[in-house]
Amino acid sequence: MPEIIPNLHPVFVHFTVALFSIATALFVVLFFAPKIHPGLLPERLREQLRTVARWNLWIGAAITLVTVAAGFFAFNSVAHDAPSHAAMKLHRNWALTTLPLYLAAALWSMYGAYARKTLNRFFIGLMLITQLLLLSTAWHGGELVYRYGLGVISLPQPEGDGHAHDGGHGHGDARETGHAPDMSMEDMNMETDTTPEDHPDHAH
Ligand code: HEM
């Protein structure tokens, strides 16, 4: 079994975001297209898009339960310091606000399919609000990795002589900069000086 760095959360987040975003886009098209022009979407195409939108939403909701569980695992295991802990809590809070709306939209859509209801503006409103919350959640998640470096084993160090691209700009030499791509997460957690234990001022 290959080691997944830093954990499984980043594997699932993309499904959560992509499946919901496709569902939102398709439901919006299905809702507005007939209002723009009744013949814009032929009935057979509408039927197909409705099915695709629903399944994206339903599968996305199921996977999001795994995403959130993996998020809690990441929250409790990834090495962090006080500022990144605050950023993690903010990301978690956005996620826990998004989750119930995501699930509600999926259940509403299931009921709509069962009872053969047509799309209404309240459902489209819920999808759009949830989409915005989801994007904010994902953006705050990206901040954790790309701004605070959570789960990152080593960072490139551009200073100094190193290899040059054809255009001429050099980057630091990986052998001399301490860049260590073959470290494991365990090594990193041992070497970091910002483990949770070092920061008794914050608690989960
Ligand atoms: C709707 C649910 C969620 C979404 C869409 C989401 C999205 C993301 C994204 C996009 C990243 C950056 C991953 C990368 O760039 O590789 C991330 C990282 C992270 N998220 Fe979430 N997240 C969700 C729920 C949660 C929850 C509930 C927690 C904690 C309780 C959490 C904790 C973390 C942590 C600790 C990281 C840092 C990387 C890691 O250790 O995996 N997330 N998240």
Every domain of the chain and the residues it spans: 9-146
Q: What is the pLDDT of residue 159?
A: 74
Give the global pTM: 0.87
Q: Which two tokens stand for residue 13?
A: 């987040």
State the residue for tokens 């809070």.
93
User: What is the distance in A from the centroid of ligand 1 to the CA of 5?
Assistant: 13
State whether the beta carbon of 188 lies less than 6 angstroms from ligand 1: no
For residue 115, give the nearest of 107, 104, 125 by alpha carbon: 107
Residue pLDDT, tens place only, 152-173: 999 888 876 666 676 555 554 4
Label residue 151 left, alpha or beta by phi (over 0 means left) and psi (-120 to 50 means alpha): left
Burial 109-130 (b: 16+ CB within 10 A, else e): beebeeeeeebeeebbebbeeb
Strand partners, 164: 170
User: What is the distance in A from the centroid of ligand 1 to the CA of 34?
Assistant: 37
Which residue has the least CA distance to atom 39 on ligand 1? Answer: 74
User: What is the distance in A from the centroid of ligand 1 to the CA of 4?
Assistant: 15
3-state SS class at 99: helix
Residue 99 pLDDT greater than 90, yes or no: yes
Quote the mean pLDDT of the chain. Answer: 87
